[in-house]
Structure formats: structure tokens, C-alpha cells
Amino acid sequence: MPLVRIQLESDRATARRVLEMHQRDKVHHESREAARAEVWRRGWTPAGEPLFVGVTNGEPVRLLYDVEVYSGVQI
């Protein structure tokens, strides 16, 4: 199944907190739900949980999520 890369705008403090949570095998539910909502907004159907993959360098700071989507099912 294809992956869609989602970039969520964030502030540096939140990005640091999300990264630290990920390193402790915890989930930042607010940003994960925002990534899922963005996939739906783009017309894709999520096939799994959004996976946190990192934070961009520099400004603006963005949280990066990969979301597996069903292929051929775009609304």
C-alpha cells in the first residue's frame, strides 16, 4: 500500500515534546489525529495508524508523519 507523507506545522517546543515522546515509545495523540485528518482532507482513506518519522530542520518547524493509504481509493 502506498504511503502519504504529511507535514504538520508546529512550534519548536511541541516538536521537541513529540520527538521525546516518540523516543520513549509514546504517542502524541493530538498530532497523530491531525495527520489522520489531513489524509482524509486530501481525499485518501487511511489503512493504518500514522507513523511519526521526524521533525524538519529550520523554520517553519513541521512534524512528519507517514500514513499508509488504500491504493485506488481516493475520494
Taken as a whole, the chain contains a residue count of: 75
Residue 66 belongs to what domain range?
A: 3-74
Cα 13 to Cα 10, 16, 18, 55, 56: the distances in Å are: 8, 5, 9, 12, 13
- Give the total number of structural domains in the chain: 1
pTM (two decimals): 0.90
User: Does residue 4 surpass a pLDDT of 90?
Assistant: yes
pLDDT tens digits, one per residue of 16-60: 999 999 999 999 999 999 999 999 999 999 999 999 999 999 889
